[in-house]
Amino acid sequence: MTDLRKKLILITNDDGLHACGINKLIETIAPLGKIVVVAPNGPRSGMSSAITSTNPIRVTLLKEEEDLKIYACTGTPVDCVKIGIDRLLPRKPDLLVSGINHGSNAAVAVIYSGTVGAALEGCIIGVPSLAVSLTDHSLNTNFSEAAKYGKSVAEKVLKEGLPKGICLNLNIPNIPKVNGLKVCTQTTGHWTKEFEEMQDPSGRNVYWLTGEFFNEDPGNVNNDEWALTNGYAALVPLHIDMTAYNFIEQIKKWEE
Amino acid sequence: MTDLRKKLILITNDDGLHACGINKLIETIAPLGKIVVVAPNGPRSGMSSAITSTNPIRVTLLKEEEDLKIYACTGTPVDCVKIGIDRLLPRKPDLLVSGINHGSNAAVAVIYSGTVGAALEGCIIGVPSLAVSLTDHSLNTNFSEAAKYGKSVAEKVLKEGLPKGICLNLNIPNIPKVNGLKVCTQTTGHWTKEFEEMQDPSGRNVYWLTGEFFNEDPGNVNNDEWALTNGYAALVPLHIDMTAYNFIEQIKKWEE
């Protein structure tokens, strides 16, 4: 019976419902099944896996068609996923796609990204989940290649599924013709020169986040940053179990 | 030369500067070195690794003594760590301690926790980092056992360091006498019944986050939830590389 039903697909993002990226994603993914969009009502970039517990969350149904429902949500990307699956969808979806993000979520950005946070949340709940990002922050960039690769990976996930506890992080370089898809590892690195100091109109000091990514392993051809720099779409499987298993033995001696 | 200097220790949390937990931590860690506190000016629970990029951040110096400086920050826990290390501290600290959190950050809570987010950020920047949480949400609970275990692990980290890319997540059960310290793995699980539906004063529907943790592997004696339930302090080493290495081969065939 299940196989005859249309696939149910949850779409979200962290740039908000009005962003070009999510609208291109909805249009591209629509042929794959029944789409429910639950996305923030405004920008939530850099929200990581934040959840809203001190305030209530509001949800507004904006569109209701046969195979497309769109809800705006006042919460974070993770709130959107939680409330979508717990309250708005008729059943657990067959797939969650988060994006298309305006800007790269490669390397250590997985830790800060709301787009990736949403995919990790789908994964925690047991839904095959995929985050898709384009390495360009501009509002009206061309999402064609990103959408093409996003759809292709989404189809593979719908067909083959994903193991429990694992989701996917896909980044696409902002070039007219991508060289292909490479399966990669998360690049090790950190940001430097992270703040600009400026003064508000009253002359008081404020700090504004900025920064440059420092790649700690630039020569590693397995890394997602290497793939992107060399014109490939980079696909990194992520897991939600953050335990550093190989360090457990070393600190067993600390046990009391 | 370095060894003769006092250790420099950065303290933060996600409950905000006024919480009992961080004040107990400051008092307990103070004998270990020179303390700089950079903590949110109010509650930031569940902020995960969120960063503030669309607004400027303000920092206020509240206390300046020989070996203790306290700054209040308008940002998230991760913002506090970033701005502390990038702008406020004289050098990279020898240790970062985040907490003591009011409430458990065991199991999958590592993904949502601002307390753990701060420790992960320290780790990204290359500072040995430790998150400490007590499994009790009340404002005026007894933090003595949590502080004792937190200090003991902090001393071990100061002495032995931590490998690059690995930080520690320590949870202490809320009982008068803890049985000891156990090195554990992150419990697999998820939350159920996540929202309560209610009406605002105008009669409009809102959703409020709540939920019950469902332990997917309750019999596993290596898990942090098992340790806590059985009266042990649970120490889990976490790594910031989220790559699911054991799944890479399986999706190599998706490469184009």
ipTM of the complex: 0.96
d(CA B110, CA B106): 6
Asked if residue B197 is part of any domain, the answer here is no
Asked if residue B211 is part of any domain, the answer here is no
Asked if residue A212 is part of any domain, the answer here is no
Q: Provide mean pLDDT across the span A181-185.
A: 98
pLDDT (0 to 100) of residue A1: 45
Residue to substitute from B191, B209, B249, B255, interface A, most A β-carbons within 10 A: B209
pLDDT (0 to 100) of residue B3: 54
Which positions of chain B have pLDDT values less than 50?
1
Both tokens of B133, joined, read 């949480």
How near does any CA of chain B get to the CA of A147, in Å? 16
> Smallest Cα–Cα separation from B228: which of B188, B169, B174, B158?
B174
> Smallest Cα–Cα separation from B40: which of B82, B103, B92?
B82
d(CA A133, CA A153): 13
Contact state of A181 with B241 under an 8 Å Cβ cutoff: no
d(CA A156, CA B253): 11
d(CA B63, CA A112): 30
A2 pLDDT above the threshold of 60: no
Residue to substitute from B83, B125, B235, B254, interface A, most A β-carbons within 10 A: B254
Q: Which residues of B touch A48 (CB under 8 A)?
A: 47-51, 78, 117
Distances (CA, A) of B224 to A54, A236, B229: 26, 27, 9
Distances (CA, A) of A62 to A13, A17, A20, A37, A38: 16, 10, 17, 10, 10
> Smallest Cα–Cα separation from A234: which of A177, A179, A155?
A179
Asked if residue A58 is part of any domain, the answer here is yes
Residue pair A23/A141 in contact (Cβ under 8 Å)? The answer is no
Asked if residue A200 is part of any domain, the answer here is no
Please tell me if residue A139 touches chain B, with a CB cutoff of 8 Å: no
Contacts of A128 (CB under 8 A, 6+ apart): A94, A95, A96, A122, A157, A158, A161, A162, A167
Contacts of B43 (CB under 8 A, 6+ apart): A54, B14, B15, B16, B19
A4 pLDDT above the threshold of 70: no
Q: Which residues of A touch B186 (CB under 8 A)?
A: 241-243
Q: Which residues of B touch A208 (CB under 8 A)?
A: 56-57
Check which CATH number belongs to the domain holding B170 and give it.
3.40.1210.10
Pinpoint the alpha helices (H) of A9-131.
Answer: 20-29, 77-83, 114-125
pLDDT, tens digit, 9 for 90 and up, residues A49-102: 999 999 999 999 999 999 999 999 999 999 999 999 999 999 999 999 999 999
Provide the number of structural domains found in chain A.
1
Q: Provide mean pLDDT across the span A144-153.
A: 98
Asked if residue A230 is part of any domain, the answer here is yes
Residue pair A91/A112 in contact (Cβ under 8 Å)? The answer is no
Asked if residue A94 is part of any domain, the answer here is yes
pLDDT (0 to 100) of residue A3: 54
Asked if residue A194 is part of any domain, the answer here is no
Between the two ends of chain B, the Cα-to-Cα distance in Å is: 55
d(CA B132, CA B104): 9
pTM listed for this prediction: 0.97
**Read out DSSP for B89-125?**
SSS--SEEEEEEEES---TTHHHH-HHHHHHHHHHHH
Domain that residue A37 falls in: 2-187+218-254
pLDDT (0 to 100) of residue B207: 97
Contact state of B183 with A254 under an 8 Å Cβ cutoff: yes
